[in-house]
Structure 1
Amino acid sequence: MAFRIRYHYRKQQKEIGYANDKHHSIYDAIAAAEGLNLAEFRRMEDQLANISRNDKKTMKEFREEYFRKLGVTQISIFREE
């Protein structure tokens, strides 16, 4: 079953396809579609994961805030009909 991701990037609404076998997360899919470099994000995410000891809420908030700073907002995922 296919999924779609809808988000706003630089004040434009965009929609892309998403498959778990192609991307690690919805954030990876968005970064690939927009050509964003996630090297700094990965480094910071790894550090946070070591400190937070798998605190999922903290990790989710970090991802959302980081992408908000990049200009990606209103991220939602839904099933394709």
Structure 2
Amino acid sequence: MAFRIRYQFRKQQKEIGYANDKHHSIYDAIASAEKLDLTEFRRMEDQLANISRNDRKTMKEFREEYFRKLGVTQITIFRDE
């Protein structure tokens, strides 16, 4: 079953398709669609993962805050009908 991601990027509403076999996460899908460089994000995410010892809440908050700084807000995922 296909999914869609609706988000706001720099105050402009956007919607893209999402499939688990193409992207690691919804954040990867958004970055790919907007052509964002995630090199720094990956480095910081790896460091945080080593420190937080799989604390999912901390990782989620980090991802949301990082993408908020990039201008991505109001991320929702839903099934495509």
Q: Same fold (TM over 0.5)?
A: yes
| Corresponding residue number in structure 2 for 1:48 | 48
| Corresponding residue number in structure 2 for 1:79 | 79
* Structure-2-length-normalised TM-score: 1.00
Q: Which amino acid aligns with 1:41?
A: F
| Corresponding residue number in structure 1 for 2:31 | 31
| Corresponding residue number in structure 1 for 2:58 | 58
| Corresponding residue number in structure 1 for 2:68 | 68
Q: Deviations over 1:29-49 (max 9, x none)?
A: 000000000000000000000
Q: Which amino acid aligns with 1:44?
A: M
TM-fit CA distance, 1:12: 0.3
SS in 1 for 2:20: coil
The share of aligned pairs that are identical, in percent, is 89
Q: Report runs of 4+ in structure 1 exceeding 3 Å deviation.
A: none
Give me the whole-angstrom Cα distance separating, in 1, the residues matched to 2:43 and 2:57.
18
Residue 21 of structure 2 corresponds to residue 21 of structure 1: yes
Q: Which amino acid aligns with 1:48?
A: L
Structure 1: segments with no counterpart, 5+ residues: none
Q: CA RMSD in A?
A: 0.2
SS in 2 for 1:73: strand
